[in-house]
Amino acid sequence: MTRSSPDFGDPAWLRDHRRDVLEFYYPTCMDEERGGYVAQLDERTGEVYDPDAKHLVATCRFIVNFCRAARDGGPDWTRSAAEHGVEFLLEHHRNDETGGYRWLLEGTDPVDDHYSTYGHAFVLLALAEATTVDVDGAREALDNAFALVDRYFWEPEQGLCRSDRDADWGPVEQYRGQNANMHMCEAQLAAYEATDDGRYLDRARRLARRLTVDLAERTDGRLWEHYDADWTHDMEYNVEEKAHQFRPWGYQPGHHAEWAKLLTELDGHVDASWPLDRAEELFAAAVDDGWDEKRGGFYYTHAPDGDPIVADKYGWPVAEAIGAAAVLADATGERQYREWYGRFWAYATEHLVAPGGNWYTKLTVENEYVDTDEGPAVEPGYHPIGACEAALASAAALQSSD
């Protein structure tokens, strides 16, 4: 393909972009008085619109971002910023009496102390990344968090994790979800890479196989989001709320791209062909069903017949597709993935990257900005920094030519 300008495969460009994202948040994000981070920054101005909300997912994602940069020779402050977050995670999000991690704080005061499967997946991921840069207490906390997940969320007979629990570890609902289990797989894979402990790899492999092979057989290889307590596909869940913020009805191309990235990474650790085979199939599903050929970007959701449902464009699916294309280019050597990689970045830099270096969360179908500055923020640049991480690991393949 004709090389785009800038060179999106250039490690120097990727590191500069990662630093731009980090510096949009830092140092404004550092709550030096109460600890932890402030994630509620206006995407256009960088001004804080809520200094108090501390969401578990945002705390963990900040830690991941700073650890990844610190591990790759980022600015000196990235390590101290990561340590700052781990301290807050363990001292304030974690309930010392139960061991669980609270969902939402105002300052340091719990306002929602239920225990989320999705949230605990990000706890594992944050502690795994912190382990790689030797943050004090991270490895012990990682193993303890794994034991907690194993005890309260893991359903061994299903090979998957159940849904959320209340502050006393009681069950909250019969619902089971794909998304939380995808991120649990991501976290277990990161924990294995951080520790070389085989139990984490075994768990990641089982989660991936159950969701992307076994359950996907019933939906022609595509990944449904919603299930009953026995992991039967619930095709009616939120059918009347198709634009639900967290559990929309329909297929999500972004999750197909995200799984394509994870399965390709898993392929490097297992002696089997199915992870890479499924990764290529899921990447194809993401772009075939979800990519807007006319205007660029991924539709958020689509119906089983492929028609868009929620046509808004979010930033995170593009970031995950960048990562997927990068690792697939490396794993397969196929030119199509390098071409898609450049195409995704070209769209992102034209429409999603804000003047401050951060990414916009959401655009309309016509790629116009949508204000999302309300409620606790959970995405402090985690997805674009993850895209840079995957691309840096695959840089040689991205720069090769046929």
Q: Which residues are catalytic?
A: 255, 383
Give CA–CA dist 355/71, Å, rounded.
27
Which pair of tokens denotes residue 222?
A: 């595509």
Supply φ then ψ for residue 359, to 5 degrees.
Answer: -105, 140
Contact 222, 303 (CB under 8 A): no
Q: How far is CA 365 from CA 42, 351, 369, in A?
A: 21, 12, 10
Roughly how many angstroms between the first and final C-alpha of the chain, as a whole number?
Answer: 9
Query: Torsion over CA of 337, 340, 342 and 346, rounded to 10 degrees?
Result: -160
Q: Which residues pair with 165 in a beta bridge?
A: 115, 171
* CA dist., res. 104 & res. 111, Å (int): 6
| Strand partners of residue 369 | 363
Judge contact between 322 and 343, C-beta under 8 A: no
Contacts of 88 (CB under 8 A, 6+ apart): 35, 36, 37, 54, 59
Specify the residue for token string 């990344």. Answer: 129
How far does Cα 309 stand from its chain's mean position?
Answer: 22
d(CA 258, CA 20): 23
The 3-state DSSP class for residue 127 equals: helix
- Residue type, position 27, single letter: P
Provide φ and ψ at 352, rounded to 5°: -100, -30
In this structure, are residues 57 and 378 in contact, taking their beta carbons and an 8 Å threshold? yes
User: How many Å apart are CA 248 and CA 177, to the nearest integer?
Assistant: 11
Backbone dihedral angles phi then psi of residue 50, each to the nearest 5 degrees: -155, 105
C-beta separation of 346 from 4 below 8 A: yes
